[in-house]
Amino acid sequence: MGVGIIMLVHTAFGRAEQVARHWAAAGCPLVIHVDKAVPRKTYDAFVNALSDMPDVRFAKRHRCEWGTWGLVAATQDAAKIMLRDFADVRHVYLASGSCLPLRPVQELIDYLAKRPHTDFIESATTADVPWTMGGLDQERFTLRFPFSWRNQRYLFDKYVALQRILRFKRRIPNGIVPHMGSQWWCLTRQTLSAILQDPERDTYDRYFSKVWIPDESYFQTLVRQYSRQIESRSLTLSKFDYQGKPHIFYDDHLQLLRRSDCFVARKIWPFADRLYQAFLTDQAGAMNRTEPNPGKIDRIFAKAVERRTRGRPGLYMQSRFPVEGRENGLTCAQYSVFEGFSDLFENFEPWLAKMTGMRVHGHLFAPERAAFSEGQTVMNGALSDSAALRDYNPRAFLASLIWNTRGERQCFQFGPRDKQKIEWEIAKDPNAQISVISGAWAVPLFKSNRNFSDIRREAALLQRVESKHLEVLRSQWTKARVRIWTMAEFIEAPMEPLQTIIDEIGQQNLRGLAEVPRMTDLSGFGQFLQNLKNQGMHPYLMGDFPIEHRLHEPQQNQRKPYLVR
Amino acid sequence: MGVWQSYRMRLRRKRAKARAFRKHFSLTPVANRTEKIRPGDILLFSTLRDEHIRLPYFLKYYREMGVSHFLIVDNDSTDGGAEYLAQQDDVSLWSTKSSYKRSRFGVDWLNWLQQKYGHDHWTLVVDADEFFVYPFCDTRPIRALTDWLDSSQVKSFGAMLLDMYPKGRIDAVPYQAGQNPLEIAAWFDPGNYVIAKNKFYGNVWIQGGPRARVFFPDAPKKAPALNKTPLVKWDRRYAYESSTHMLLPRGLNLTYDEWGGEKASGILLHAKFLDTFTAKAAEELTRRQHYSASVEYKAYARTVQENPELWCKWSEKYINWRQLEILGLMSKGNWA
């Protein structure tokens, strides 16, 4: 004998009774506190149900609203009864009705018997822990909190604000240092009685009754005055979500709980029949002994909190629709946008796909349809190539495409002929790598067999569109990695920029580019530009092209297509 | 929100309530077993017409999930479905011959029933071809979800409509009564949805999926809305405003997170596209009892005659909720 259990109950009395009997069967005396909010009838029935147990006491009932003094008062009263009535008790374990012993109670008794002077209570100074809710860490000890956080939130917030304005500060009595921690502890008789019989207890009680969430700080602070040996951890496994509310365990956590190294878990869903069945069996051997792996539990619940607070970057869905600026990534993965390359190089898309292993699309935002790779009409995620569907919400289109193809880098062509509505989304996206050869849109015009007046009109339009687009790319809001070359600049030494882009994409290709894309024949392009100028339309985005382009002259004598070296 | 706006909201809510009151006179109770409803029971509300063949599986699915009582409005069925429902112990049935359209597609009827019987209960509003899926639904009953929502002080739970369809022609495999329709309509579009926010009601507006892809590739704006909030801790002051897409008061529509995180959400698997659909689409065309002069059904009828195949190479076959979670169609949120 040596461990007594204080049990705080406010709901699920059937389960509480079951657990109480389990504790008692191992020889642990119990003092049970039932919330005053519980109707008399329910309370009487519960007391009656446990009336056959000799070592069960019921403490005076307090109203236990979350975060209020009632919980501490209830614990104090129950502890007093425990210490008075059960002289054999060496350790007092504070548990709740929804706690479930994970290991045979005898193991807990043995464990504590081996550490007769150790107090197990999580106790840390406020400065050192990140768990605090609502930004109230040190302030919870220096302000007053007469209003309920749950039911009178408005008054609660206003009163805190008022006290901040007035610079109101409470004095912490006797220079104690406030500590905080899980309210589920296990203290030795010596420590607990010292706290309860402290001559200054009235002072402390008065002070803590106005502190916010005293059940997480009263014992945690005072234990520092008396304890001979504190082990600052809770023997109760309890995980909290981002609102500071305990996570609940269900049947499907059975394997996980078996691997916990804690003695008790909280909080269990009252209808988790399998859990109660598995852990409340008498035989110690009934429990499958597995190597404890508490890290796994930590990970699962930490992930849940992160899912709730940060979500999956680049995902837009029914329950994650961030306002602008809070997306935490406009898209979920990096992708590349090439502007002008497929105009300048004849086989750019297949070449790029071969060199980098990326998925290379054509002009995804072309006016006719989204040109998916390999001419597909539907892409990953059943994304349609319909221009109307895409233009209905281009941003969703792009985000979906990148999301649907997670694990495979996407790359697409863009240019002034395309729908421009998406340009800001791409420019603002740090995941985008944008490479532009400005003015290359003139090459298809140069190659086309159209009337020159049409060409001139179109050239003027495309130049206007691209020039506006370049302004966007050079704006202060642009977060994408942007590289812009004029066409003249680019064709002077094409391999260098190509190598840079591909290195940045970071594929395996370390030996340099084995193969080069085929540049279209540009002889006569200089004259073409001059003709446009002669017609009063000044193409300036492609840089300075001499009328006779020396670089390209020799190739007229060659039969092989021009290869860039 | 200004005073004027909140007043307008209030007026709208009151109007919905008044409509519900007006329309409830057309409901005739057939089997009223609502005295069996216990506090804390989870209730299911539905309006249906000629769905007899689907009912056995529908009831089974939701009974196993943990729904305690079904409150159903039968809109003039002629296929014996009403008689079947009237025999079920956990079903309360009302019937009406009034216009489905003029009761705003059943919303007014159900608003009334929910006000009368749903107060302080978790209520699930679904059609006979909708199957609710939520995180951990394979290991935890719906009560676990609603308890968790209660403890998180959340009053409404969103579940997007996910259109399911068979591989091959829609009418290739005949559906048998009692069969899981998802065995036939096992496929869905995993990632082509678009979302916009309705600033007035605060809900997200989701479109896309196979219906947008196949029936409305040139008129995406007309594609049906897929956002739904089917599970609500009902209060007699609440009202659905437009199907289960929007609720009033509008705070209930905030089933999504705006600061980058994910709230928990579910999916309504919509097993509409079975062999029964072709006949139904033809009938609805003449009845004209559906939304916006049945524009949806017109588009269906046109396309379905030509090529009743919704399946494509990138369609995904349904496995379980975890798959939907990984695809990003629903989320566990903070629930673990």
Measured distance CA(A109)–CA(A264) in Å, rounded: 13
Q: What is the dihedral of CA A174, A178, A184, A188, to 10 degrees?
A: -40
At A89 the pLDDT is 94
- Averaged pLDDT for residues B197-224: 92
Class of domain A3-309 (CATH, top level) = alpha beta
Domain count, chain B: 1
Which residues of chain A have a CB within 8 Å of the CB of B330? 317-319
Residue B334 domain-assigned? no
Give the count of beta carbons closer than 10 Å to the beta carbon of residue A559: 5
Q: Tell how strand A383-384 and strand A410-414 pair up.
A: unpaired
CB of B257 less than 8 A from some CB of A: yes
Would you say residue B315 has pLDDT above 50?
yes
The answer to whether the Cβ–Cβ distance between A319 and B313 falls below 8 Å is no
The answer to whether the Cβ–Cβ distance between A383 and B192 falls below 8 Å is yes
Find the closest chain A residue to B228 by CA distance. Answer: A318
Residues sharing a CB contact under 8 Å with residue A158, sequence separation 6 or more, in sequence order:
none
Cα–Cα nearest to B158, from B253, B235, B234:
B253
Would you say residue B139 has pLDDT above 90?
yes
The answer to whether the Cβ–Cβ distance between B210 and A382 falls below 8 Å is yes
Phi, psi of A370, deg, nearest 5: -80, 115
Which residues of chain B have a CB within 8 Å of the CB of A309? 260-261
Cα–Cα nearest to A103, from A297, A284, A248, A255:
A284
Measured distance CA(A494)–CA(B11) in Å, rounded: 67
> Mind telling me how many Å the CA of A333 is from chain B's nearest CA?
15
CB of B212 less than 8 A from some CB of A: yes
Mapping DSSP to helix (H, G, I), strand (E, B) and coil, where does residue A90 land?
A: coil
The answer to whether the Cβ–Cβ distance between B140 and A252 falls below 8 Å is yes
Which residues of chain A have a CB within 8 Å of the CB of B140? 250-252
Find the closest chain B residue to A150 by CA distance. Answer: B153
DSSP annotation of A559 reads S
**Portion 98-117 of B in contact with A at CB < 8 A:** none
**Portion 389-408 of A in contact with B at CB < 8 A:** 389, 392-393, 396-397, 400, 403-404
Mapping DSSP to helix (H, G, I), strand (E, B) and coil, where does residue A481 land?
A: strand
Find the closest chain A residue to B137 by CA distance. Answer: A252
Residue B336 domain-assigned? no
Residue B333 domain-assigned? no
Give the count of beta carbons closer than 10 Å to the beta carbon of residue B174: 11
pLDDT tens-place string over residues B321-331: 999 999 999 99
Measured distance CA(B118)–CA(B112) in Å, rounded: 9
The answer to whether the Cβ–Cβ distance between B194 and A303 falls below 8 Å is no
Written as tens digits, the pLDDT of chain A (565 aa) is: 689 999 999 999 999 999 999 999 999 999 999 999 999 999 999 999 999 999 999 999 999 888 889 999 999 999 999 999 999 999 999 999 999 999 889 989 999 999 999 999 999 887 776 665 556 777 888 888 888 877 888 898 899 889 989 988 888 888 888 898 888 999 999 999 999 999 999 999 999 988 888 888 999 999 999 988 999 888 898 888 888 788 999 999 998 888 887 889 999 999 999 999 989 875 554 455 556 677 788 899 999 999 999 999 999 999 999 998 888 888 999 999 999 999 999 999 999 998 888 899 999 999 999 999 999 999 999 999 999 999 999 999 999 999 999 999 999 999 999 999 999 999 999 999 999 999 999 999 999 989 999 999 999 999 999 999 999 999 999 999 999 999 999 998 888 899 888 888 876 655 667 778 899 998 889 999 999 999 999 999 988 888 765 554 444 444 445 555 5
Edge-to-edge strand list for the sheet holding B122-125: B28-31, B91-96, B69-75, B42-48, B122-125, B231-233, B156-157
In our burial notation (b when 16+ CB lie closer than 10 A, e otherwise), range B194-233 reads bbeeeeebbbbebbbbbbbbbbbbeebeebbbbbbbbbbb
In our burial notation (b when 16+ CB lie closer than 10 A, e otherwise), range A536-552 reads eeebebbbebeeebeeb
At A286 the pLDDT is 47
CB of B167 less than 8 A from some CB of A: no
Find the closest chain B residue to A403 by CA distance. Answer: B191
CB of A10 less than 8 A from some CB of B: no
Measured distance CA(A376)–CA(A370) in Å, rounded: 9
Measured distance CA(A69)–CA(A257) in Å, rounded: 31
Measured distance CA(A238)–CA(A245) in Å, rounded: 10
Interface test with B, best of A319, A321, A331 (most B CBs within 10 A): A319
Q: Tell how strand B204-208 and strand B193-197 pair up.
A: antiparallel
CA–CA distances in Å: residue A552 to residues A131, A520, A558: 68, 11, 11
Would you say residue B238 has pLDDT above 80?
yes
Match 């659905």 to its residue by tokens.
B240
Residues sharing a CB contact under 8 Å with residue A233, sequence separation 6 or more, in sequence order:
A120, A122
Give the count of beta carbons closer than 10 Å to the beta carbon of residue A158: 12
- Residue B238: domain span: 3-326
CB of A283 less than 8 A from some CB of B: no
Q: Which two tokens stand for residue B288?
A: 């004209």
Residues sharing a CB contact under 8 Å with residue A286, sequence separation 6 or more, in sequence order:
none
CA B81 to chain centre: 19
Measured distance CA(B218)–CA(B211) in Å, rounded: 12
Measured distance CA(B281)–CA(B271) in Å, rounded: 14
The answer to whether the Cβ–Cβ distance between A317 and B193 falls below 8 Å is yes
Rg over CA atoms, chain A: 36
At A552 the pLDDT is 47
Which residues of chain B have a CB within 8 Å of the CB of A320? 256-257, 260-263, 331
Interface test with B, best of A150, A318, A374, A395 (most B CBs within 10 A): A318
Query: Domain residues of chain A, as ranges?
Result: 3-309, 335-557
At A82 the pLDDT is 95
pTM of the model: 0.91
CA–CA distances in Å: residue B151 to residues A41, A168, A247, B232, B234: 24, 34, 10, 14, 16
> Mind telling me how many Å the CA of B235 is from chain A's nearest CA?
18
Which residues of chain B have a CB within 8 Å of the CB of A311? 257, 260-262, 331
pLDDT, greater one: A149 or B15: B15
The amino acid at A209: S
B212: alpha, beta or left, given left = phi > 0 and alpha = psi -120 to 50?
A: alpha
The answer to whether the Cβ–Cβ distance between A321 and B210 falls below 8 Å is no
Q: Which two tokens stand for residue A194?
A: 């010292």
Give the count of beta carbons closer than 10 Å to the beta carbon of residue B302: 11
The answer to whether the Cβ–Cβ distance between B213 and A378 falls below 8 Å is yes
Q: Tell how strand A410-414 and strand A335-339 pair up.
A: parallel
Interface test with A, best of B132, B138, B151, B192 (most A CBs within 10 A): B192
Residues sharing a CB contact under 8 Å with residue A338, sequence separation 6 or more, in sequence order:
A348, A352, A411, A412, A413, A414, A435
Count contacts between A and B (CB, < 8 Å).
Answer: 176
